[in-house]
């Protein structure tokens, strides 16, 4: 993440440049002094009323505008790219991210306007939010809240909700914000619908389970893979053959023989000669009609 959007003042300056707005135009639109706007660009305090009006004028989410810096960190693992790139998402006017704020002292919650699009219902209270979960998920979520309040810092939370007859998986990144008492008095966060990715993970797990069952009856070196060369399951370990060696070979095969593999997928079977090896491949589909390729060969080919 660039340094250009690390603080409230930085984000405000970036937005003004992006929208080609002067500080004078902002002051006139909000009915405040130009000096006040100038102080905001330098990181000065802004009250909730002016924050609401400023965010509405700039057409951005007020929680992101005020707290964006708390939701990103260069020190996080690569898997936490959602938090690291929140500024980029909003500066490109993304509608896929829900931002929210929970005032622990008053109990009030604030969600961005697109919350119903992601969660399925409007959220006006923590009760609305927690009512979407079963008891196990609620307990897990409340435990994560406790950790944030007690430990501070940023936390990533995955949870499942049920709405309109279907399950949705949500990935949420939240952080505690300290008040004047130097204690966490607010929790702010961003949430993203992770349903499609989660369904893909479940489908892949089911496919691997199906192929593992088929693998039990194979005596020759057998590799089940997808059309891009990724090994789904194999018995290479039983044959004392390096998995990494086979995976590397199949990736090269998929890249250099893409057309030939597509033809085998269409015809159902075929033979490919690659790097001095003659490979017999069969295409099949699992019970959910997902395509896979089966390679069987002599173990000596990869020794």
Encode pLDDT of 21-73 as tens digits.
Answer: 999 999 989 889 888 898 888 877 788 788 888 988 888 777 777 766 444 44
Contact 57, 29 (CB under 8 A): yes
Contact 257, 272 (CB under 8 A): yes
- Give the per-residue pLDDT at 104: 92
Token reading at 116: 């119903």
Asked whether the predicted pLDDT for residue 199 surpasses 50, the reply is yes
Which pLDDT band, with edges at 50, 70 and 90, does 222 fall under?
A: very high
DSSP class of residue 52?
A: H
Higher pLDDT, 88 or 255: 255
The average pLDDT across 184-209 equals 89
For the chain, first and last CA: distance in Å?
A: 46
Asked whether the predicted pLDDT for residue 297 surpasses 50, the reply is yes
- Give the per-residue pLDDT at 67: 67
What is the rounded average pLDDT for all residues in the chain?
83
Which pLDDT band, with edges at 50, 70 and 90, does 257 fall under?
A: very high
Closest Cα partner for 120 from 130, 111, 132? 132
Contact 224, 297 (CB under 8 A): no
Q: Which residues contact 194 (CB under 8 A, 6 or more apart)?
A: 158, 169, 170, 171
Would you state the CATH architecture of domain 218-297?
Answer: 2-Layer Sandwich (3.30)
- Give the per-residue pLDDT at 192: 85
Alpha-carbon distances of 37 from 50, 63, 178, rounded to whole Å: 10, 18, 24
Burial of 26 (0-12, 13-18, 19+ CB in 10 A): buried
Which pLDDT band, with edges at 50, 70 and 90, does 4 fall under?
A: very low
Question: Cα–Cα distance between 10 and 66 in angstroms, integer?
Answer: 10
Domain boundary assignment for the chain: 8-67, 80-199, 218-297
- Give the per-residue pLDDT at 79: 32
Asked whether the predicted pLDDT for residue 189 surpasses 90, the reply is no
- Give the per-residue pLDDT at 89: 47
What is the topology classification, in CATH, of domain 8-67? 434 Repressor (Amino-terminal Domain) (1.10.260)
Would you state the CATH architecture of domain 80-199?
Answer: 2-Layer Sandwich (3.30)
- Give the per-residue pLDDT at 78: 32
The tokens 């079977």 sit on which residue? 269
Closest Cα partner for 220 from 237, 239, 233? 239
**Buried/exposed code over 153-178 (b: 16+ C-beta within 10 A; e: otherwise):** ebbbbebbbeeeeeebbbbbbbbbbe
- Give the per-residue pLDDT at 113: 84
Q: How far is CA 223 from the centre of its chain?
A: 31
Question: Cα–Cα distance between 234 and 238 in angstroms, integer?
Answer: 9
- Give the per-residue pLDDT at 68: 63
The average pLDDT across 244-264 equals 93
Encode pLDDT of 131-178 as tens digits.
Answer: 999 998 899 999 999 999 988 777 888 889 988 888 889 988 888 888
Whether the domain at 80-199 and the domain at 218-297 fall into the same CATH topology: yes
């Amino acid at each position: 993440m660039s340094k250009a959007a690390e603080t409230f003042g930085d984000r405000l300056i970036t937005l003004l440049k992006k929208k080609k707005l002067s500080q004078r135009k902002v002051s006139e639109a909000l009915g405040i002094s130009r000096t006040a706007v100038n102080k905001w660009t330098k990181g000065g305090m802004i009250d909730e009323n002016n924050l609401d009006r400023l965010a509405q004028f700039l057409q951005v989410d007020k929680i992101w505008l005020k707290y964006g810096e708390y939701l990103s960190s260069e020190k996080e693992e690569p898997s936490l790219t959602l938090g690291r790139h929140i500024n980029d998402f909003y500066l490109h006017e993304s509608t896929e991210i829900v931002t929210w704020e929970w005032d622990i002292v008053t109990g009030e919650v604030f969600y961005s306007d697109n919350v119903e699009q992601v969660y399925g219902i409007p959220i006006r209270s923590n009760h609305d939010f927690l009512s979407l979960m079963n008891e196990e998920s609620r307990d897990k979520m409340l435990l994560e809240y406790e950790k944030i309040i007690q430990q501070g810092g940023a936390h990533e939370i995955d949870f499942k909700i049920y709405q309109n007859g279907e399950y949705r998986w949500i990935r949420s990144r939240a952080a505690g914000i300290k008040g004047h008492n130097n204690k966490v008095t607010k929790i702010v966060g961003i949430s993203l619908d992770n349903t499609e990715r989660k369904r893909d993970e479940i489908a892949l797990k089911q496919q691997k389970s199906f192929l593992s069952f088929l693998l039990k009856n194979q005596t020759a070196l057998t590799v089940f893979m997808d059309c891009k060369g990724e090994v789904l399951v194999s018995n290479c370990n039983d044959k004392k053959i390096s998995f990494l060696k086979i995976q590397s070979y199949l990736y090269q095969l998929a890249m250099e023989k893409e057309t030939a593999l597509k033809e085998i997928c269409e015809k159902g079977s075929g033979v490919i000669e690659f790097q001095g090896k003659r490979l017999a491949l069969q295409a099949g589909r699992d019970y959910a009609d997902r395509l896979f390729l089966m390679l069987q060969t002599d173990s000596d080919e990869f020794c």
